[in-house]
Structure 1
Amino acid sequence: MDHDRRRRQIAEAVWRLATRGGLETVTLRQVATEAGVLPRQLQYYFGTRDQVLLGALEILNTDAEQRARDRLSALGDPPGARALVRGVLLELLPLDEERRNRHLVYAAYFLRFLTEPTFIAAGRDAAPALENLVGGLLAQAQEDGQIPRDVDTGTEAAFLTAGADGLQASVLLGQRSPEQAVAVIDRQLDRIFAAPSPESGDRGESR
């Protein structure tokens, strides 16, 4: 088995353990047993326990980015700013088994993101990167006349990404359905991508 396949086999074992019961008490021996490898192989392919967990998280993030690209590519060419923003936000919702499992794994890492120095940077950098992506898409849409000039795209990006995070938790907890969460996202995008008023001088077409 090649190096990358073995690393992925171990990462998937971490993900399964995370979705079944969290990561607080998971040991290297448990990961090795779940992955069907010898404990010393974890050290060979990753290193310490923290490095195993961080490595599994890195592989999960890479998978998530690729799947997001694939779904965004399926939107059409060109998909339009609203569809792109919507697609990015929907990646934050557990709308299918793959995304649900991914977000359960992220939830298992959450306490570590808050309290353990080795993990803090990994948790801290993800949200601003996503917010900046959404903000950039909104700013370009505004420049193209698809969003009124008086909309603060930075504030809206922060609101949308934070709101999607909150919707994610409520869907995972069964407080609302995936369809209800998507409807909330769509309503907010309807508000932002409102037709510019004629007197504003904005160019371009409304959504």
Structure 2
Amino acid sequence: MPRRVDHDERRRHLTAALLRIASTRGLQAVSMREVAAEAGVSLRVVQYYFTDKRTLMLSGITELAARLDRRVRERAAAIGTGLPPRTVFDVVLGAILPTDDDSRADQLAWTAYYAAGLTDPAEAVDGRYAPDALERWLTGVLATAVETGDVPAGVDPRIEVVSLLALTNGLVSSVLGRQRDVDDALRVVRYRLDRLFGAATRG
């Protein structure tokens, strides 16, 4: 009896191969044939699941966003339910930083997508929906914190979230570039959060 193929698992396997190439050699090295070789399958298999390179590339962006979401959920679950706003920001921003081999590889892949879009518009894949959705969600969390008095009333939630995410993404680059280690990056993020959430107490 022929073995049944798990098509979702096969797509994940191919997408993981794409992201390994992106994180080690950049998107310029990505092709349907290279992904097939990395995944250990025939080119025809890749073409069966992904109609063209752009569809394949989009699967990579989607998977990177899903991995970050899983990382955040796992870290939050390890702490418990009903997390206070400060802890939510600790968890989310900490999950963005490359704190281990897996998250480092994911951030290298994110960087490869970003760089490709800057230097070759034809290679660009619109992955803005993931960061935009995260920004909107965190803005809602911070707006609630303003209402409950966890942060000062004069704080603009959207601007604070934009600046926190910009800070964290800048720290990602400095960690990847070995300008600083991840512990130093975490200290910078927590210092900024201390000033934001501690301001209500000081006030």
Moved more, 60-69 or 185-194: 60-69
Q: Please list the CA deviations of residues 132-186 of structure 1 after superposition, one character each: whole Å capped at 9, or x if unmatched.
A: 2221111111111111112222211111000000000000111011011111111
Using the alignment, how far apart are the partners of 1:125 and 1:118 within structure 2?
Answer: 17
Kindly indicate whether residue 161 of structure 2 is the aligned counterpart of residue 157 of structure 1.
yes
Deviation at 1:77, TM superposition (A): 2.2
Structure number having the greater helix percentage = 2
- Aligned alpha-carbon RMSD (Å): 1.9
Tell me which residue corresponds to 1:204: none
Counterpart amino acid of residue 126 in structure 2: A
Tell me which residue corresponds to 2:33: 29
TM-score (norm 2): 0.89
TM-score (norm 1): 0.88
Counterpart amino acid of residue 144 in structure 2: Q
Tell me which residue corresponds to 2:84: 80
Q: Please list the CA deviations of residues 40-63 of structure 1 after superposition, one character each: whole Å capped at 9, or x if unmatched.
A: 111111110121121132223223
Counterpart amino acid of residue 99 in structure 2: L
Using the alignment, how far apart are the partners of 1:25 and 1:118 within structure 2?
Answer: 12
Q: 1:105 aligns with which of 93, 105, 109?
A: 109
Q: 2:126 aligns with which of 79, 96, 121?
A: 121
Aligned length: 198
Kindly indicate whether residue 76 of structure 2 is the aligned counterpart of residue 41 of structure 1.
no
Using the alignment, how far apart are the partners of 2:116 and 2:65 within structure 1?
Answer: 16
Using the alignment, how far apart are the partners of 1:76 and 1:143 within structure 2?
Answer: 23
Deviation at 1:89, TM superposition (A): 1.1
Deviation at 1:13, TM superposition (A): 1.0
Aligned residues of 2:19 and 2:109 also touching (Cα < 8 A):
yes
Using the alignment, how far apart are the partners of 2:72 and 2:201 within structure 1?
Answer: 34
Aligned residues of 1:171 and 1:181 also touching (Cα < 8 A):
yes
Using the alignment, how far apart are the partners of 1:165 and 1:143 within structure 2?
Answer: 27
* Structure 2 segments unaligned to the other structure (5+ residues): none
Deviation at 1:95, TM superposition (A): 0.8
Deviation at 1:21, TM superposition (A): 0.9
Aligned residues of 1:93 and 1:168 also touching (Cα < 8 A):
yes
Aligned residues of 2:138 and 2:161 also touching (Cα < 8 A):
yes
Q: Please list the CA deviations of residues 15-72 of structure 1 after superposition, one character each: whole Å capped at 9, or x if unmatched.
A: 1111221111322111111111111111111110121121132223223212221112
Using the alignment, how far apart are the partners of 1:159 and 1:172 within structure 2?
Answer: 20
Q: Please list the CA deviations of residues 91-122 of structure 1 after superposition, one character each: whole Å capped at 9, or x if unmatched.
A: 22001112111101111111333343674532
Tell me which residue corresponds to 2:171: 167
Using the alignment, how far apart are the partners of 1:13 and 1:176 within structure 2?
Answer: 29
